[in-house]
Amino acid sequence: MSTQADQDLEAGICKPKLQTEPTLPIYLKFTDVTYKVTLKGMRTTQEKDILNGITGSVNPGELLALMGPSGSGKTTLLNLLGGRINQPTVGSLTYNDQSYSKFLKCRIGFVTQDDVLFPHLTVKETLTYAALLRLPKTLTREQKEKRAIDVINELGLERCQDTIIGGSFVRGVSGGERKRVCIGNEIIINPSLLFLDEPTSGLDSTTALRIVQMLQDIAEAGKTVVTTIHQPSSRLFHKFDKLILLGKGSLLYFGKASEAMVYFSSIGCSPLIAMNPAEFLIDLANGNLHDVSVPSELEDKVQMGNSEAEIRNRKPSPAVVHEYLVEAYETRVAENEKKKLLVPIPLDEQVKLKVSSPKRQWGASWWEQYSILFWRGFKERRHDYFSWLRITQVLSTAIILGLLWWQSDTDSPKGLQEQAGLLFFIGVFWGFFPVFTAIFTFPQERAMLSKERAADMYRLSAYFVARTTSDLPLDLLLPVLFLLVVYFMAGLRLSAGPFFLSMLTVFLCIVAAQGFGLAIGATFMDLKRATTLASVAVMTFMLAGGFFVKKVPIFISWIRYLSFNYHTYRLLLKVQYEDITPTINGMRIDSGIMEVSALVAMVFGYRLLAYLSLRRMKLQSGA
Ligand SMILES: Nc1ncnc2c1ncn2[C@@H]1O[C@H](COP(=O)(O)OP(=O)(O)OP(=O)(O)O)[C@@H](O)[C@H]1O
C-alpha cells in the first residue's frame, strides 16, 4: 500500500523539475582529515581531538550522508568540507584536485541548522531578493525574478509562496516549508556543491522524506551534495548514495550506503532482529551491541555481571566495541579507499582549474545592492515600527509627561527651570532606546552577514549603508507624534519654526544614539558584553548631560562633549528660549553651531567605527 508521501512523490508535488543550466562538476576528496581544537582552561591549555583521520570522497551526482551519534563530529566535518572553518590540522581536502580557494565560495551553497530568514517577508519575496542580490549581472531583473519563481516551482512551494516566513512571535510557513526555502536560498545561485546540516531535524518522517528526495534530485542534476543526518527512517536511508559513519570523531565506515550492512556483517556485527539500518548503525557507533551479534574477536572481552539479565546480555563495553570498529575499518577498508582517491578525476585540466578561477561577477552594482537591501530591510522592519506595542509605549510616555508638566508656567524662572527638566528628559528618552535597539543589529545578523557573503567588501558597504538607513524614515514618525503630544500638553512652543527645529534636534539625537549602539554591537558582536558597556556609557552620558550636575571637575568634564544627551539638551533649550532668556538652569544659550556639529560628527563617526569593526570581524573570521 502506498503512503501519502509516495503519492505525493508520484504526483510530482515534491519532485522538483531541476534546472538544466550547466553546473561546474566538482569532485570533493578528503584524506586523513584530522581536526583538533585548543581548549584554554584557567591554568592549562589542552588539545582536544574532534576528528581523527577521516577519508572519503563524493562526486557530482552523488548524495553523501554524514551519520553518527551526537557529538561524533558530523557538523565539524561538514564545516571543514564547506570551507567554513580553517583548513584541517592534518590531512588534505581537494575540490577537483585543487585546494580550497576563496573563489570556491560562490560555487558552494551551505544550509545551516538554524538558517537565518527574515520572518516578515513572504516565501516569494525571500527568494526574489536572494535572486536579485546573488545572480550575476548578465541576467536582467525579469530573468532573476523568473529564476526565483522557477525555484519556488522546483521546491513545490507554490501554495505557500505568499505566506510570510514567520518566527518565534509570528506564525508563518511550516517547518518543512521553511527548510525548503533555506535550500531554495542556496540553490538559486546554482551551486556545484551543496552542504546541509541536519536538514530534516524536527520534521515528521513524510516531510523528511520529501526533503531528502529533493536532495537526491538536486544531486541527479549534477551537483555534489553532502548532508548530516541524525536518525533517518529506513526508506530515507536508502536514498543516500554514500555514507560516512562517525563515532567519537573516528571513521567507522565510508562507502556506498547500500553496502554498509554487508560490511558490518562481514566484521561480525549483524542485527539479530529486523531493524532500521540507520538505527543499527547509530547503535554500533555508540558501542551498543544490544540485539546485535558479537564479533568472535570480542567474545572474550564481554563484560561480566552478576544479575541474570546481565549474564544473558553479556556484551563488550562501548569503548571496546568502538576500538574494534575503528581498527576493523582501518585494517580492512581504509588503505583501499585511500588508493582509490589517488586516481585522477575524469575532468579536463581546464575544467578542473575553474574551481579556483575568479570568475565571479557581482550580482548587482553597488547602487542596486543598496536599493534591494534597503527595500528588503524596510519591508521587514515596518511591522516593528507600527506595532501597537511600540505606539502604545511612545504615546503613553508622551501623555504621562504631558500630564506631569501640564500647561507649565513660562513666566517665572522656576517655571522655566521645570520646563528645562522636561526638555532634558526628552533628550534622554530618545537617546536611550535607539542605543539599545541598535546594539542588537549586527550580533543578531552575524549569520546573515556571512551567509549573504556580505563580508565581501563591496557587498558589506552596500549592506551596511542600507541597514543603517532603512530605519530612518520610520524612525522619524513616532518622535513627531511624541513631540506633538508633549509640546501641546505641556504648553511649549508649537509654532512651525521652533517645532521643526526641535524635531530636527531629536532626530539628530536618535541617529547619533543609533550610531553609538551600532558601533558597540559591531565591535563586541556579543550581546552581553555590548549591553553591559552600553548601560554604563548611557548612564554616564545622561549624568554628564548637564541637568543633574553643573559643576563638574575639570578632569572629567570633557565627557559631556561625548554625550548626545548634553548636545540635544542644549539645542532644545536654545530653540525654546533663545528669545526669552540668555541663560537657563545654569546653561548659557549660544549659537548652537557647536552642538549641531558635534551631533553630526557622532552620526557619521560612530557609524564609521561600526563599519570598520565589521570589516575587522570579516578579516578575523575569514567569512
Ligand atoms: N570549537 C570547539 N571547541 C571545543 N569543542 C568543540 C569545538 N567544536 C566542536 N567541539 C566538540 O567536538 C565534538 C563534535 O562536535 P560536532 O558539533 O561536530 O558534533 P555533531 O556530531 O555534529 O553533534 P550533533 O549531532 O549533536 O550536532 C563535540 O563534542 C563538540 O563539543
Domain range summary for the chain, segments of one domain joined by +: 4-16+24-285+337-345, 366-385+411-473+487-621
pLDDT band at 585 (very low <50, low <70, confident <90, very high): confident
Ligand 1: does its nearest atom lie under 6 Å from the Cβ of 73? Answer: yes
ipTM: 0.96
Is 96 close to ligand 1, i.e. is its CB under 6 Å away? Answer: no
- Report how far residue 83's alpha carbon sits from residue 101's, in angstroms, rounded to the nearest whole number: 9
CA of 113, closest atom in ligand 1? 27
pLDDT at 243: 96
- pLDDT at position 86 over 80: no
Supply the residue whose CA is at minimum distance from atom 17 of ligand 1.
75
Cell (9 digits) for 307: 544479575
Q: Is 72 in the pocket of ligand 1 (CB under 6 A)?
A: yes
67 Cα–ligand 1 center, Å: 13
- Kindly state the average pLDDT of the residues 104-121: 86
Contact predicate 66/241, CB 8 Å: no
Which of 76, 226, 251, 286 has most ligand 1 atoms within 8 Å of CB, for mutation? 76
From residue 159, give the alpha-carbon distance in Å to each of 13, 162, 311. Answer: 10, 8, 58
Residue 246 CA, closest ligand 1 atom number: 21
Overall size of the chain counted in residues:
623
The alpha carbon of 577 is separated from its chain's Cα centroid by a whole number of angstroms, namely 49
> Whole-model pTM?
0.81
272 DSSP assignment: S
Relative to beta strand 28-40, strand 45-58 is antiparallel
**For residue 355, how far is the Cα from the chain centroid?**
26
- CA-nearest residue, atom 1 of ligand 1: 37
pLDDT, residue 552, reads 74
CA-closest residue to ligand 1 atom 27:
70
- Contact by Cβ (8 Å): 106, 161: no
Name the residue with higher pLDDT: 294 or 425.
Answer: 425
503 Cα: distance to centroid of ligand 1 (angstroms): 52
Distance 77 CA to ligand 1 centre (A): 10
Q: Which atom of ligand 1 is nearest to the CA of 230?
A: 25
Kindly state if the Cβ of 243 falls inside 6 Å of ligand 1: no
Does ligand 1 lie within 6 Å of residue 75's CB atom?
Answer: yes
Pocket flag, ligand 1, residue 76 (CB < 6 Å)? yes
pLDDT at 13: 39
Q: Which of 2-6, 320-324, 427-431 has the lowest mean pLDDT?
A: 2-6
Whether 68 lines ligand 1, by a CB cut-off of 6 Å, is yes
Angle, helix 413-438 to helix 527-543, in steps of 10 degrees: 170
Cell of 494: 508649537
Q: Does the beta carbon of 50 lie inside 6 Å of ligand 1? A: yes
- Cα 342 to Cα 200: distance, rounded to the nearest angstrom: 34
* pLDDT for residue 618: 56
- Pocket of ligand 1, candidates 39, 47, 49, 74: which has the most ligand atoms within 8 Å of its Cβ, to mutate? 74
Beta bridge partners of 302: 316
Å from CA of 76 to ligand 1 middle:
6
* % of residues, the chain, pLDDT over 90: 46
CATH, range 4-16+24-285+337-345: 3.40.50.300
Instruction: Please state whether beta strands 587-588 and 583-584 pair in parallel, antiparallel, or not at all (unpaired).
Output: antiparallel
**Average pLDDT score over the chain:** 85
Pick the atom of ligand 1 nearest to 79's CA.
Answer: 18
Indicate whether residue 480 lines ligand 1 (CB < 6 A): no
pLDDT higher than threshold 90 for residue 382:
no
Confidence band of 17 (pLDDT split at 50, 70, 90):
very low
CA dihedral sign of residues 443, 449, 450, 455: negative
| pLDDT tens figures, 257-308 | 999 999 999 998 888 888 899 999 999 999 888 888 888 777 766 655 555 5
